[in-house]
């Protein structure tokens, strides 16, 4: 028996990082995510190396709504950069 499934798979993105709480995997389901030590951030990073308002992740879509990526911005949308800067894979 052959079963054909005509469903498009939506891309899934995870933010993987390690802080005082250990290794964490956070699904990136919203269109934007704020990162930092402050409890008002959508993703709180518990590390002295992280600024209170450290960075933003903004979803960037392509012509196909099922394919998208994220833009990493140092600081906040008002142009205030983080105190400690950002590193990717480092």
Show the domain range for 40. Answer: 30-79
Q: What is the 3-state secondary structure (H, E, C) of the chain?
A: CCCCCCCCCCCCCEEEEEECCEEEEEECCCCEEEEECCCCCCEECCCCCCCCCCEEEEEEECCCCCCEEEEEEECCCCCCCCCCCCCCCC
Q: Is the pLDDT of residue 65 over 80?
A: no
Residue 75 lies in a domain: yes
Q: Is residue 39 part of a domain?
A: yes
Into how many domains does the chain fold? Answer: 1
Q: What is the pTM of this model?
A: 0.77
- Residues 64-88, mean pLDDT to the nearest whole number: 86
Which CATH number characterizes residue 72's domain? 2.60.200.20
């Amino acid at each position: 028996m052959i079963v054909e499934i005509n469903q498009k798979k939506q891309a899934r993105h995870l933010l993987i990082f390690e802080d005082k709480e250990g290794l964490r995997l956070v699904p990136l389901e919203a269109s934007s995510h704020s990162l930092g030590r402050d409890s008002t951030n959508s993703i709180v990073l518990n590390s002295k190396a992280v600024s209170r308002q450290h960075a933003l992740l903004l979803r960037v879509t392509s012509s196909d709504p099922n394919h998208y990526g994220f833009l990493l911005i140092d600081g906040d949308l008002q142009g205030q950069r983080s105190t400690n800067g950002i590193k990717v894979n480092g």
